[in-house]
Amino acid sequence: MTKIEQPRVVIIGGGTGLPVLLRGLKKYPIDITAIVTVADDGGSSGRLRDELQIPPPGDVRNVLAALSDVEPLIEEMFQHRFKSANELSGHSLGNLILAAMTSITGDFMYAIQEMSRVLNVHGKVLPAANQSVVLHAELEDGIVISGESKIPYSGKRIKRVFLTPETIKPLPETIKAIQDADLIIIGPGSLYTSILPNLLVPQIGEEVCNARAKKVYICNIMTQAGETLDYSASDHVNAIYDHMGKPFIDTILVNSEDVPLEIQARYSKEAAKPVHFDIGSLYELGLEVIYGEIISLELGMIRHDTNEVAKILYSFLQNETNRR
């Protein structure tokens, strides 16, 4: 199958969830476009963002690595994080390369394109905006927290999130990818700090809502303290709908596998627990529900099983293609 004939799949997210999904999806004959948040302001990304006035490179770096097809040593070098006692401490080499290329050319997107060539990336990696944005959260008591890295530590429920500056322009390539997509995948990832910052970029959310493609939301397996404490699956969906002003998701992928009790006990110390998949409420929202045993346990951490999720999504895509 030539690339022109391959189904076009757009994946929207950030954080750790997006790279996990992409490592599985890149094995299938699909044309991938990953749209990545640029709201990160913590760690190495935040330091480079503040010091050089460039978009944060960290989430983009992880996605480039996930979609790359190079020798393991090259990927390891790109992801290498310095542990020294000087200014390099905490920075990854990939972040520094992206920052250097952005500073030289004045164009973050150009830096991503060049690194995509070097790393032989499968598909396209597009930032949600070619500029830095700041994520803010209005809490239920009216207090506003500014900064993506600070939001999860407020200890209060989030009413809404929003971006500044007021004028944020998405890349034309991003809009075209959404319009041309055969399937749009949202998540997995932190609801308020990885998913919504993409959809809140002017035009991106509107185009996703209006796109002809089927939209699949991959629900998180665990709740997150400071973001989705006690949220059910339908709470996640309704939060997205509240921010977009309309329902637009067609299908939701949920976990059908029990989370081991010892893992639940470990996560309970972080005020996190398995998401309650309230199937009746999901059906009331008009959603098609797909179940899957999609848990991967690595070093006591719960992640989505990249191979199983990718297999489910590719099967769904094939069924949709045949249906058309």
Quick one: pLDDT at residue 87?
Answer: 78
Q: What are the structural domain ranges in the chain? A: 3-37+165-323, 41-126
Q: Are 40 and 58 in contact (CB under 8 A)?
A: yes
Quick one: pLDDT at residue 117?
Answer: 94
Quick one: pLDDT at residue 4?
Answer: 59
Cβ count within 10 A of residue 136 = 18
- Which region, left, alpha or beta, applies to residue 74 given φ > 0 means left and ψ of -120 to 50 means alpha? alpha
Q: Are 125 and 116 in contact (CB under 8 A)?
A: yes
pTM for the full predicted model: 0.94
Mean pLDDT of the chain: 93
Residue 254, token pair as written in the block: 């949920």
- What number is the average pLDDT over the span 263-275? 93
With a cut of 90, say whether residue 229 has pLDDT above it: yes
Q: Are 314 and 25 in contact (CB under 8 A)?
A: yes
Q: Buried b / exposed e across 200-224, counting CB within 10 Å, b at 16+? A: bbeebbbbbbebebbbbbbbbbbbb
Lowest mean pLDDT among 5-14, 33-42, 83-92: 83-92
With a cut of 60, say whether residue 3 has pLDDT above it: no
Tens-digit pLDDT profile for residues 280-300:
999 999 999 999 999 998 877
Quick one: pLDDT at residue 86?
Answer: 74
With a cut of 90, say whether residue 301 has pLDDT above it: no
- Amino acid (one-letter) located at 141: D
Tens-digit pLDDT profile for residues 98-121:
999 999 889 999 999 999 999 999
Assign domain 3-37+165-323 one CATH number from 3.40.640.10, 3.90.1150.10, 1.10.1740.10, 3.40.50.10680: 3.40.50.10680
Tens-digit pLDDT profile for residues 55-99:
999 999 999 999 999 988 888 888 988 887 677 888 899 999 999
From residue 177, alpha-carbon distances to 72, 104, 161 in Å are 30, 27, 25
- What number is the average pLDDT over the span 157-185? 96
Q: Buried b / exposed e across 125-134, counting CB within 10 Å, b at 16+? A: bbbbbbebbe
Q: Are 28 and 122 in contact (CB under 8 A)?
A: no
- What number is the average pLDDT over the span 271-282? 95
